[in-house]
Structure 1
Amino acid sequence: MILGIDASNIGGGGGVTHLKEIISSSDNLVNDYSIERIIVFSSKKVLDEIEDHEYLIKLTFPELNKGLLSRVVFQLFKYDKEIKERCDILFSLTGDYIGKFHPVVGMSRNMLLYERNIWKEIKQPKEILRFWLNFKKQKRCFKNASGLIFISKYAQEYANKSLDIQRKLQEIIPHGVSAQFTGQVLEQKKLTSYTEENPFNFLYVSTVHVYKNQWNVVRAISNLRKKGYPVTLTLVGGVIFEPAGQLLEETINEVDPQNTFIFNKGHIPYQNISDEYKKASGIIFASHCENMPNILMESMASGVPIVCSNKQPMPEFLKNNGFYFNPKEVESIEKAIIEFLKQPEKRALMAHNNIKEIKNYTWEKTASETFSFISKVYIQITKNVQK
């Protein structure tokens, strides 16, 4: 079997991490699943980040290194020919392959394509149109696919309610967590151990968009300080939606113009984020739209206790090992943080449980289950053709 991986629409972030990790974990797997070669189709920028292997072919085309229009035209009129000449089965890493090659395994990565309430929060026609077009591409991909991979039970259930895909072969294969985030549980101290000079520092790692709610977290921390709680907040993550970035900046300027307790570091390279976890006393995760919350998983691995959004799929992964809140309500965030601060023994137990739980999420397991499922789909298709 010659496996093609369509990564033509990946630009960076989690998609690149996923691709790099499953390829780097594939050395001992290709023979197990009768994979003769793996061909990755993508831009030169993405391919340069992937390590070389004897069985791996990294293939790009001029159109994949230009703008969106050139890429789409190539995908519509030329891509199928290139795939058909080289591959037996295609894995669409972003679940938006729109060609006619068969068989295809599609993957669900982005819940923004489905959760339309967030479109109303965005309020920008151009941004909403982008999500709508990507939804249409995924709908087409999933309709033509022979197998579908989801990274959370929540995403699978949501997509099955939204699309006519119940008869497709499906598998839930969560992402792994990089070993660089593995930490240990530090002693959890009582609230009285913290002072204005030695505050309890919360960390919130996430890009800035309307569904990430950093401004609500900022207001909650500000209100708690007014009530005498010695807490600070460090924000890490670049702005990916400008109106949300402006709202965050305005909120920080309103509640902490001198930057005495809110520290917004913006974008930090992925390989350096683990250093921020080591400095944190507690972690806050306040998103209300995720497919599989990679940042939450990395937080669990760090050994730092967590205060978290109660919106699914966060509880699917964090289970009973976090203090939950409604991310859209400042008062709810405040209450959860207060309960968190008052219970050091519970914090410690939850953090220990998270480290145990995260051992179930390795990239080696993700790669093995991914190649196994693709092989299963290919074998079934081949048998049907022979009949």
Structure 2
Amino acid sequence: MNIGIDASNVGGGGGITHLKEILFNFNEEKYKDCITSIIVFASQKVLNEIKNFDKLEKVTFPEFNKGLLSRVFFQLTKYDKEINSRCDLLLSITGDYVGTFKPLVGISRNMLLYERAIWLEIKQPKEVIRFWLNYQKQKKSFKNSDGIIFISQYAKEYINNTLNLEGKTTEVINHGVSQRFSQPLKMHKLISEFTFDNPFKFIYVSPVHMYKHQWNVVRAIANIRSLGYPVELHLIGNVSFTPAGEKLAKATREVDVNNIFIKNHGHVKYDEIDKYYRQSNGIIFASTCENMPNTLIESMASGTPIACSNKEPMPEFLKNNGYYFDSYDINSIQSALEKLILNVSNNDSMAFNNLEEVKKYSWVNTSEKTFDFLLEIYNLNK
């Protein structure tokens, strides 16, 4: 069996991490008699990120390394012929392959395509149209798919209700978490052991977008400082939507014009983020639109107490081991952060539970379950 992986629309972020990890952890011995080759179709930039192994073949085309129009025209006119000549099954890593090749397996990664309330917050027509077009592509892809992989139970239920995928073969296969994020349980100190010269360090790792709510977190931190608690906030992540970046900058200027306790580090390389987790005393995750929140899982692996958005699917993964808040309500965020800094004994037990829970999220398991599912779909459609 020759498995094709359509990664032609992968640019970076979670998509490239997912692809790299399932291939890096591919069990060649287990599949030596049933998988002949794995052919990845992608831009040269993406292919350069993937480690070579015996069964792997990397394929690119000039159109994949040019602009969007060139890539889309090739996908619509010539791509299927290339896939047909090489593959017995195709996995669409971004869940947006719109050709006619079968059997096809799609992956659901982006809940922004479905949660329309976020579109109302974004307001920018160009961005909303982009989401709508990508939704239409995924809708067509999933309708044509013989199997669909979801990365959270929440996404499976939500998208099934939206698209009516009754009769499709589906599977929930969670992402893994890199071992470098795993840390031993931290010794959590009393807030009285911190000073304004040596403050309690909160971090929030996430791109800046409307559904990430960094500005509300900034104001909640300022309120806690005003009560006499020595805390500071470290923001890590690039601005992925300009109006959200402007909103964050405005809030920061209003509460901390000299950047004394709001430290915005901007983009940090993925392989350097774990050091910020190690240096933190508390973690904040305020997103209200996720499929499987990798940042939250990495936070759980760090042994650090967590204050988190109460929006699903966050509770699916964090369970009862964090302090929940409404990301739209500054007072709710403030209350959760106060509980976190004042409840050291709870923090110890929650962090221990998170370290146990996160053991379930292994890229080895993700890779094996993914290829098992691909074989199942192939055998069902012989």
Same structural fold, with TM-score higher than 0.5 when normalized by the shorter chain? yes
Which residue is 1:124 aligned to?
124
CA apart distance, 1:340? 1.2
1:218-297 aligned at under 5 Å gives the runs 218-297=218-297
Which residue is 1:385 aligned to?
none
Find runs of 4+ consecutive structure 1 residues off by over 2 angstroms: 27-30
Give yes or no for contact 1:30–1:36 (8 Å, CA) kept in 2: no
Give yes or no for contact 1:33–1:372 (8 Å, CA) kept in 2: no
Provide the C-alpha distance between the structure 1 equivalents of 2:354 and 2:90, rounded to a whole number of angstroms: 35
Give yes or no for contact 2:27–2:368 (8 Å, CA) kept in 1: no
Give yes or no for contact 2:285–2:309 (8 Å, CA) kept in 1: yes
CA apart distance, 1:252? 0.7
Q: 1:356 to 1:144 in 2, by over 3 A?
A: same
Provide the C-alpha distance between the structure 2 equivalents of 1:166 and 1:281, rounded to a whole number of angstroms: 45
Which residue is 2:71 aligned to?
71
CA apart distance, 1:164? 2.2
1:51-200 aligned at under 5 Å gives the runs 51-200=51-200
RMSD: 0.9
CA apart distance, 1:130? 0.4
TM-score (norm 1): 0.97
CA apart distance, 1:32? 6.0
Provide the C-alpha distance between the structure 1 equivalents of 2:118 and 2:326, rounded to a whole number of angstroms: 15
Paired residue secondary structure (1:283): strand
Gap runs ≥5 in structure 1:
383-387
TM-score (norm 2): 0.99
Give yes or no for contact 1:33–1:371 (8 Å, CA) kept in 2: no
Which residue is 1:372 aligned to?
372
Aligned residues: 382
CA apart distance, 1:30? 5.6
CA apart distance, 1:28? 3.3
Provide the C-alpha distance between the structure 1 equivalents of 2:196 and 2:51, rounded to a whole number of angstroms: 47
1:16 aligns with 2:16: yes
Give yes or no for contact 1:104–1:146 (8 Å, CA) kept in 2: yes
What CA deviation, in whole Å up to 9, does each residue of 1:133-164 have, x standing for no partner? 00000000000000000000000001001002
CA apart distance, 1:184? 1.5
Give yes or no for contact 2:3–2:91 (8 Å, CA) kept in 1: yes
Give yes or no for contact 2:309–2:325 (8 Å, CA) kept in 1: yes
Give yes or no for contact 1:176–1:361 (8 Å, CA) kept in 2: yes
Provide the C-alpha distance between the structure 2 equivalents of 1:212 and 1:81, rounded to a whole number of angstroms: 41
Aligned partner letter, 2:88: D
Provide the C-alpha distance between the structure 2 equivalents of 1:342 and 1:255, rounded to a whole number of angstroms: 23
Which residue is 2:343 aligned to?
343
What CA deviation, in whole Å up to 9, does each residue of 1:271-309 have, x standing for no partner? 000011111000000000000000000001111110100
Give yes or no for contact 2:202–2:281 (8 Å, CA) kept in 1: yes
Paired residue secondary structure (1:359): helix
Identity across the alignment (%):
56
What CA deviation, in whole Å up to 9, does each residue of 1:292-344 have, x standing for no partner? 00000000111111010000000000001100000111000000111111110
CA apart distance, 1:199? 1.1
Provide the C-alpha distance between the structure 2 equivalents of 1:244 and 1:186, rounded to a whole number of angstroms: 33
Give yes or no for contact 1:29–1:368 (8 Å, CA) kept in 2: no
